[in-house]
Structure 1
Amino acid sequence: MSSLSIIIPTLNEEKCLGLTLWSLNLLKPSPMEIIVVDGGSEDDTINIAENYDITLITSPTKGRAFQMNDGAKLAKGDYLCFVHADTLVPHDLVTIIEKTLHNEDIAGGGFISLMKGSKNTRWGTSLHNYLKTYYAPFLFRPYLFFFKGLRLLFGDQVIFCRRSDFWQCGGFDANLPIMEDADLCLRLVAYGRICLLNRVVESSDRRVAKLGSLKANIIYLWIGILWGLGVSADYLKKFYAEIR
């Protein structure tokens, strides 16, 4: 039996959630459980989730980090995998993660994120996101990059780790409205390497489609630089509006 718990934070995700849950229910082998943690959706998200064989809870506090921690508290699996509601994963996700974490030198990992829409594949943005996994820790945390195996992963890369390590390092920082995923990597690396697997997940291009490629990539780059320099996440959130 699988030891993987999949956790999905949601907030007004009626456009994407159905396809994501449908694809997760086709995984072979199946995960131990799929937990959807809603942050107070006002659209049809809850009704969509209830149509699938998943565990659905409502978080008392809206916020991705808070919601993912709530899901992790409920999870029974030895391994945790955090999937955004607009992301599609490989059919053998469970096997990939369990095989990777069988290596005790690895504390966690993620996938190459390919940003796609109904009409476009955002190759440039996807390439930048791939490179950012490496250049961000190289520039801002070189010691951890070279000697500890740090890679900075972001939510659309489907972060996974051991449940024990997740709680030992404190889980997601619920006080962070943004960059909670990169922050987790910084603390998780104390328990082993963070790896980027040579497998692809597909994420919605809705932010790039709304803002335009140039503006979106400038915002991504600007946020990354300021975060690396220690600027507070509350300030950075001003540049990262919610887009559904």
Structure 2
Amino acid sequence: MSAISLVLPTLNGESELPGLLETLGAQTRPAGEIVVVDSSSDDNTCEVAASYPGVRVVRIARDEFNHGLTRDFALRQTTGDYVAFMTQDAVPANGRYLENLVAPLDKDPLVALVSGRQLPKPDARRFEQLVREFNYPAESNVRTIEDLPRLGIKTYFASDVCSCYRRSAYLEVGGFDEVETNEDMLMAARLLKAGYKVAYAAEAEVYHSHNLTPKEQYRRNRAVGAFLAAYDGELDVPDEVGEGSRLAKSVLGAVLREGRPVEAMAFAADCAARLAGNRMGRSRCHG
């Protein structure tokens, strides 16, 4: 049975870590090691993490954190055949999360990357619940590069909120770049173009969601827009606005059918912030 390592970037996660690490310790197929890479937390994150068996803490300067390079650095501190990633604000929904996450890797040696399903947390507002349902459906899938004409940018769907990589394939394609966001999507594209498969395991569930303000949504999507513009040639997909339009129509239709006009207006503001941020990120990159 292939060994599993798990990488967990943290920043001031003292209050979130106990629930996450306790759930990870109770998995039916637990990680053999957990590497916490902490960006100089101001609280007791490192002490809390180190108090759990099998957890090793690596500290870096806060200004050194990079979504791509920090994860690559941490992965190279591990030894497992499979390397899973999580974020401190995601919690496995049950004790079979890791078992279900690595199942596609066990089943097919060509599967190099698996992402899990993100369920909304109890405090998620209604439109955020519906966004999660749209982006993370109940049906699993496995994709190859041949799916690109049919699925477009969704071919590269991946999320390091809850993911697992086959170490040998990850190293073969060179590892994560120095990127500020979407390192997972870029790695999925490179793995697919190298002849590997990328999977989505709907049975591997975590609770993870955010109630972002329009300003926060704008900033997030500005970074995504800049990323997409910078790697436009490598991703080689049509504009992602079409997928965004399908999301908007699905969620807006649902909240209106439920008779939630205030939620519909809030979601409209959220969509406007996403679109404006994306366009600004793209224009600044091209500029």
Where on the TM-score scale, by shorter chain, does this alignment land: which range?
Answer: 0.7 to 0.9
Residue 178 of structure 1 aligns to a residue whose secondary structure is coil
Computing the radius of gyration from Cα coordinates, the structure with the larger value is 2
Over 3 Å counting, the alpha-carbon distance change for 1:69 and 1:237 in structure 2 is farther
Over 3 Å counting, the alpha-carbon distance change for 1:77 and 1:70 in structure 2 is same
Query: Retained in 1: the 8 A contact 2:114–2:200?
Result: yes
1:150 aligns with: 155
- Please report the TM-score for the alignment, with normalisation by the length of structure 1: 0.76
Flag structure 1 segments of 5+ consecutive residues without an equivalent: 239-244
Over 3 Å counting, the alpha-carbon distance change for 1:126 and 1:223 in structure 2 is farther
More helix by share: 2
1:114 aligned onto 2:119? yes
Query: Retained in 1: the 8 A contact 2:7–2:36?
Result: yes
Opposite residue 154 of structure 1, the aligned amino acid is S
Over 3 Å counting, the alpha-carbon distance change for 1:29 and 1:179 in structure 2 is closer
C-alpha separation between the residues in 1 aligned to 2:224 and 2:67? 18
Q: Give the percent of matched residue pairs that are identical in Structure 1 and Structure 2.
A: 20
- Given the alignment, which residue of 67, 72, 76 partners 1:64? 67
C-alpha separation between the residues in 1 aligned to 2:20 and 2:150? 34
Q: Deviation of residue 26 (structure 1)?
A: 0.8
Mapping of 1:162-173 within 5 angstroms? 162-173=166-177
- Post-superposition Cα deviations, 1:130-168, rounded to whole Å, max 9, x if no partner, equal 37xx9xx9xxx934958xx93311222x12111111111
C-alpha separation between the residues in 2 aligned to 1:128 and 1:230? 27
C-alpha separation between the residues in 1 aligned to 2:117 and 2:19? 20
Opposite residue 26 of structure 1, the aligned amino acid is A
C-alpha separation between the residues in 2 aligned to 1:58 and 1:178? 21
Query: Retained in 1: the 8 A contact 2:2–2:81?
Result: no
Q: Deviation of residue 191 (structure 1)?
A: 4.0
Mapping of 1:84-95 within 5 angstroms? 84-89=87-92, 90-95=94-99
- Given the alignment, which residue of 203, 210, 213 partners 1:211? 213
Mapping of 1:180-219 within 5 angstroms? 180-189=183-192, 190-205=194-209, 208-211=210-213
Decide which moves more: 77-86 or 215-224: 215-224
Query: Retained in 1: the 8 A contact 2:100–2:204?
Result: no
Query: Retained in 1: the 8 A contact 2:111–2:197?
Result: yes
C-alpha separation between the residues in 1 aligned to 2:212 and 2:102? 36
Q: Deviation of residue 187 (structure 1)?
A: 1.2
- Please report the TM-score for the alignment, with normalisation by the length of structure 2: 0.65
Flag structure 2 segments of 5+ consecutive residues without an equivalent: 233-277, 282-287
- Post-superposition Cα deviations, 1:87-145, rounded to whole Å, max 9, x if no partner, equal 122412343244311212312111111121447574222024337xx9xx9xxx93495
C-alpha separation between the residues in 2 aligned to 1:188 and 1:105? 10
Opposite residue 136 of structure 2, the aligned amino acid is Y
Opposite residue 78 of structure 1, the aligned amino acid is D
Opposite residue 188 of structure 1, the aligned amino acid is L
Residue 209 of structure 1 aligns to a residue whose secondary structure is coil
Aligned residues: 222
